[in-house]
A and B are shown apart, each in its own frame.
Chain A
Amino acid sequence: MPAIVTNHISAVEKSERATEESPFIKWTLITIALGFCILFLVLPLLNVFVQALGKGWAFCWASLSHPDSWSAIRLTLIVAGISVPLNVLFGLAAAWAIAKFKFRGKSILITLIDLPFSVSPVVAGLMFVVLFGLQGFFGQWLDAHNIKIIFAVPGIVLATVFITFPFVARELIPVMQATGTEQEQAALTLGANGWQTFWHVTLPSVKWGLIYGIILCNARAMGEFGAVSVVSGHITGQTDTMPLRVEKLYNEYNAPAAFAVASLLTLLALFTLGIKTLLEWKQAREYRKAVDSR
């Protein structure tokens, strides 16, 4: 009897080994992956905070509370505050249209939504300058009506909206496509109007995708550099967002202050990453609970 048991165990071990690489290869790969992450991600990130606090907490706080930095922080929040809701609206509309209706040019629309991903941010910024700049297409008309877009907040918002355009829609489209329209039809047969159907049925079923899209959209809206840099005009205290402020301080050889602002942006990124991980974990737990309780 014991012999049989031993046999059994060795058989299991063997079958496991059959699909696995040798320990040497396994640990080499793990070391490479981990080492790469530490060298290129963790260390630089830590360095940001080390540099920011290099001259002490007081200096760091002073750099952040400097009126120009403060104005950059405020502008970044305003830009994100406008462009994220706009893209949530757009993303919902586009995802709804693509997932639930059949129409001509659907594939073109899907490609167009991806456009901001494939166009370089600098080119995107230039696009707006060509359109709304003084020498641009609408430039004369805008100037005559005393509307400032380029080198002003509206331009920054426009560029940011363009760059963060795909995030919400991209997250929602697959979720909505997977859900189909039957639940909505069921709500209609039960007497619900369009708004009730959207609010009680559609929105809850895409909740996670939507939240995830908003997080990504917000992170990019706050961190965008290239496109914003082209349209902002870098007017200190007026059209500098946080990423622009970081660059400016750095170019002025004020590295500690630059890193102080940068650390704030980095914190935001880490915070976003944290929420994202938390959401994924919660979602996985809900799923596990659902499967377990079957």
Chain B
Amino acid sequence: MVDSLKEVDSRKLTSVSIELKNVTKQFGEATAVNNVSFSVQEGELMALLGPSGGGKTTVLRMIAGLEVPTVGDLFIRGERVNELSVQERNIGFVFQNYALFKSMNVFKNIAFGLKVKKWKRPERKARVAELLTLFGLDGLERRYPHQLSGGQRQRVAIARALAPKPSVLLLDEPFGAVDAKIRQELREWLVTLHQELNVTTIFVTHDQEEALELADRIVIFSRGTLEQVGTPREVYEHPANEFVARFIGVMNVLELEVREGFARLGELQFPAHGQAEGQKLRIGFRPYSVQISSDLNQYIYRAVLRRTFFLGIMLRLELELPSGLVLRARMTKEEYAQQALEDGRDVSFQIREYRILARESGALSPETEFIHKAQPMIAENI
């Protein structure tokens, strides 16, 4: 059964499925996508990630043919498709709210693409039956969309998109419309499905955690420009710029000034060899880089453990320095227990590794943001 589904994509992983070359899209005066180039390998699971308004959905819609690039070229399997209509591109598109046909039941929804492509009735029936089983929708074929749960609707939408055996599956915020618990199930299910079918899949998300968890590679957008393309590990460990560094994962961001060879903020100081006196620096470090000990003499800095957040196996800690600065740290439950830590306790800590995010002789760019301020774009959980 799965064999015939694999026909969707029998090519080797090495060939290029989709390529964007210097693509720009303007809506009137506004530039939604600015000179973007990247390619997607055959069989890859790719995430387009960025804050809302970043242009990622526009990119997805251009690949589908629902929008036409203002400038630049778009290739699917080596063929330039700029002028090709939506119908001719052979893509499967899953809309954010699924856009199931309300007046059709599950069977007819999934069969629609086959019907308009003039598949014969027995083949149509066989294909739908195959997809119903694969997607765990058996017994629901007579139901109408409003009679389905959110998760079922999403599965119907994906089954419908995959029915005509598209060369690419495009998903716009696939997990936006379901609640948190189902979201996790669906994520795991999507990965399994992708492994089974091996169809090139691109999904749009604003949730960095989702992108890191699911994707083979991630394309990160902000304000219409491409910031970085890379594997989850690459973008997490080697962010190309400050935006990526701060967008992916949680980061403590501090703004410091160089005085007497050290970049300083309150009691914190970082070696700053060769930096001019008075220069402003912005550095960032991940919560896991903060090492904490209940032994006050083990590390150089002192702080009070202000609050502990329990997130399952990992704990998030908030340290308050004597100067009032608040830092985020991370620790396993075991280590926390070993150190006999508790809220309100004095601790010592050090910062194991950090990176310089920005460096300017005058004032820093306006992105300045201290950790005790809200960081709305940065999600938790890494």
Residues of A in contact with B (beta carbons under 8 Å apart): 179, 182-183, 185-193, 196, 200-201, 204-205, 207, 290, 293-294
Contact: A183 with B116, CB < 8 Å?
no
Contact: B95 with A182, CB < 8 Å?
yes
| Pairs A–B under 8 Å by Cβ, sample size 17 | A185-B93, A186-B93, A186-B99, A186-B101, A188-B87, A189-B86, A189-B87, A189-B93, A190-B160, A191-B113, A191-B116, A191-B164, A192-B116, A200-B104, A201-B103, A204-B103, A290-B144
- Complex CA gap A190/B104 in Å reads 15
Q: Which residue of B lies closest to A286 (CB)?
A: B144
**B65-102 interface bits toward A, Cβ cutoff 8 Å, 1 = contact, 0 = none:** 11000000000000000000011001111010101111
Contact: B112 with A290, CB < 8 Å?
no
Shortest distance in angstroms between B116's beta carbon and chain A's nearest beta carbon?
4
- Complex CA gap A293/B104 in Å reads 16
- Complex CA gap A183/B164 in Å reads 17
Contact: A186 with B95, CB < 8 Å?
yes
- Complex CA gap A186/B116 in Å reads 13
- Complex CA gap A188/B163 in Å reads 14
Residues of A within 8 A of B21 (CB): none
Contact residue among B103, B116, B164 (Cβ-Cβ distance under 8 Å from A196):
B116
Contact: B97 with A183, CB < 8 Å?
no
Contact: B86 with A290, CB < 8 Å?
no
Residues of A within 8 A of B87 (CB): 188-189, 191-193
Q: Which residue of B lies closest to A206 (CB)?
A: B103
Contact: B97 with A193, CB < 8 Å?
no
- Complex CA gap A290/B147 in Å reads 6
Q: Is the interface of B mostly helix, strand, loop or mixed?
A: loop
**B117 interfacial contact with A, CB 8 Å:** yes
Q: Which residue of B lies closest to A189 (CB)?
A: B93
Q: Which residue of B lies closest to A292 (CB)?
A: B147
Q: Is the interface of A mostly helix, strand, loop or mixed?
A: helix
Contact: B103 with A185, CB < 8 Å?
no
Contact residue among B66, B116, B146 (Cβ-Cβ distance under 8 Å from A185):
B66
Contact: A189 with B64, CB < 8 Å?
yes
**B115-132 interface bits toward A, Cβ cutoff 8 Å, 1 = contact, 0 = none:** 011000000000000000
- Complex CA gap A191/B101 in Å reads 15
Residues of B within 8 A of A188 (CB): 66, 86-87
- Complex CA gap A182/B160 in Å reads 14
Contact: B91 with A192, CB < 8 Å?
no
Q: Which residue of B lies closest to A291 (CB)?
A: B146
Contact: A293 with B113, CB < 8 Å?
no
Contact: B113 with A183, CB < 8 Å?
no
The 4 closest A-B pairs by CB, nearest first: A190-B113, A204-B103, A182-B99, A189-B93
Q: Which residue of B lies closest to A185 (CB)?
A: B66
**B48 interfacial contact with A, CB 8 Å:** no
Q: Which residue of A lies closest to B157 (CB)?
A: A186
Shortest distance in angstroms between A27's beta carbon and chain B's nearest beta carbon?
40
Contact: A193 with B99, CB < 8 Å?
no
Which of A186, A187, A204, A207 counts the most B-chain CB atoms under 10 A from its CB? Answer: A186
- Complex CA gap A190/B164 in Å reads 8
Residues of A within 8 A of B64 (CB): 189
**B204 interfacial contact with A, CB 8 Å:** no
Residues of A within 8 A of B112 (CB): 187, 190, 192, 200
Q: Which residue of B lies closest to A196 (CB)?
A: B116
- Complex CA gap A183/B99 in Å reads 5
Q: Which residue of A lies closest to B91 (CB)?
A: A189
Residues of A within 8 A of B90 (CB): 191
**B161 interfacial contact with A, CB 8 Å:** yes
**B158-170 interface bits toward A, Cβ cutoff 8 Å, 1 = contact, 0 = none:** 0011011000000
Contact: A189 with B102, CB < 8 Å?
no
Which of B65, B116, B144, B160 counts the most A-chain CB atoms under 10 A from its CB? Answer: B116
Shortest distance in angstroms between A175's beta carbon and chain B's nearest beta carbon?
11
Residues of A within 8 A of B65 (CB): 189
Contact: A182 with B97, CB < 8 Å?
yes
- Complex CA gap A193/B118 in Å reads 12
Residues of B within 8 A of A190 (CB): 112-113, 116, 160-161, 163-164
Which of B86, B100, B143 counts the most A-chain CB atoms under 10 A from its CB? Answer: B86
Residues of A within 8 A of B161 (CB): 189-190
Contact: A207 with B97, CB < 8 Å?
no
- Complex CA gap A26/B188 in Å reads 59
Residues of B within 8 A of A186 (CB): 93, 95, 99-101, 160
Shortest distance in angstroms between B39's beta carbon and chain A's nearest beta carbon?
22
- Complex CA gap A190/B65 in Å reads 12
Shortest distance in angstroms between A6's beta carbon and chain B's nearest beta carbon?
42
